[in-house]
Amino acid sequence: MLEVISIPTFTDNYVWLIKNTENNHCCIVDPGQAEPVLQVINQQNLILDAILITHHHYDHVDGISDILAASVHPVEIYSSIAMEVGVPINLVAENSQLHLLDNSLQLTVMATPGHKREHVVYYNQTMLFSGDTLFSGGCGRILDGSAAELFSSLQRIKALNENILVYPAHEYTQANLMFCYAVEPQNNNLKQRIEHTAKLRQQGLPTLPNSLKNEKEINVFLRTNEATVSMAMEHKLLEILTSEQAVFTALRAWKDHF
Ligand SMILES: [Zn+2]
């Protein structure tokens, strides 16, 4: 059986650890810090097999070297671009198939440029590690990509099996939902998610993962096809938006200053 554990790092990052509960082998996604990850690995007597990287911001990669230095077993690293970490990198690209944890975990790579051009996500029929491409209630900022690229990446994610659980790299949910609410104050699913999120945060619990199904109900960046969302943006901008991509671009620009 596989279990996914959230390891908080920095102020609002999560490293996701996927563990095979039968043999305690595990892999991790985006270790920006080593210490909190090594603590979990040591406490639970885990054997780290692999590190998966979505993109190359410091808060996703800076823990790699110290984790490798502390590992007695060989660790495979998967990344879409080369890195200098003292061991060979397994380069991945669109449609790469990863067979991890003695083949108990298979993941497919999807290239999702937009936040960063090298950004990839890892997914199968039940889980999606979405890095900084898709958050609960939000999406990444456009840093060295374009709005068209990020829109297209999110549309491809939206088309995946909706029972997938989404594991983003940041706990941004509460702030993101306030933005969604400003766009769609009449969305009842959104109101429920806001209430549920507040309860979880009061107890100090992660709001993640969330189902892709629910994200499609609440996350305005996945709802550019909804009249409520496009009309809200048209009212705000006082212009007609003729495509979903135009609605998305307007949403992303507003969120940058929200
Ligand atoms: Zn990032």
pLDDT at 86: 87
Whole-Å CA distances, 160 to 72, 103, 227: 37, 22, 22
Determine the distance separating the centroid of ligand 1 and the alpha carbon of 231, expressed in angstroms: 30
Determine the distance separating the centroid of ligand 1 and the alpha carbon of 151, expressed in angstroms: 16
Determine the distance separating the centroid of ligand 1 and the alpha carbon of 1, expressed in angstroms: 30
Average pLDDT, the chain: 97
Which whole number is the average pLDDT over 110-131? 98
Give the residues across from 7 on adjacent strands. Answer: 15
pLDDT at 177: 98
- Mark the residues whose beta carbon lies below 5 A from ion ligand 1: 57, 132
pTM of the full predicted structure? 0.98
- Per-residue pLDDT of 44-82, as tens digits, reads 999 999 999 999 999 999 999 999 999 999 999 999 999
- Per-residue pLDDT of 215-235, as tens digits, reads 999 999 999 999 999 999 999
Determine the distance separating the centroid of ligand 1 and the alpha carbon of 115, expressed in angstroms: 7
Determine the distance separating the centroid of ligand 1 and the alpha carbon of 132, expressed in angstroms: 5
Whether 94 shows a pLDDT value over 90: the answer reads: yes
Strand ranges, E, within the chain: 2-9, 13-20, 25-29, 47-52, 76-79, 90-91, 97-100, 105-111, 120-123, 127-131, 134-135, 138-139, 165-168, 210-211
Structure tokens at 101: 């944890």
Which whole number is the average pLDDT over 140-154? 97
Determine the distance separating the centroid of ligand 1 and the alpha carbon of 131, expressed in angstroms: 7
Rounded to whole angstroms, the Cα distance separating 96 from 104 reads 17
- Per-residue pLDDT of 177-187, as tens digits, reads 999 999 999 99
pLDDT at 253: 96
pLDDT at 21: 98
Determine the distance separating the centroid of ligand 1 and the alpha carbon of 138, expressed in angstroms: 13
Determine the distance separating the centroid of ligand 1 and the alpha carbon of 188, expressed in angstroms: 30
- Per-residue pLDDT of 20-38, as tens digits, reads 999 999 999 999 999 999 9
- Give just the sign of the alpha carbon dihedral 173, 97, 106, 162: positive
Determine the distance separating the centroid of ligand 1 and the alpha carbon of 139, expressed in angstroms: 11
Determine the distance separating the centroid of ligand 1 and the alpha carbon of 175, expressed in angstroms: 17
Determine the distance separating the centroid of ligand 1 and the alpha carbon of 114, expressed in angstroms: 10
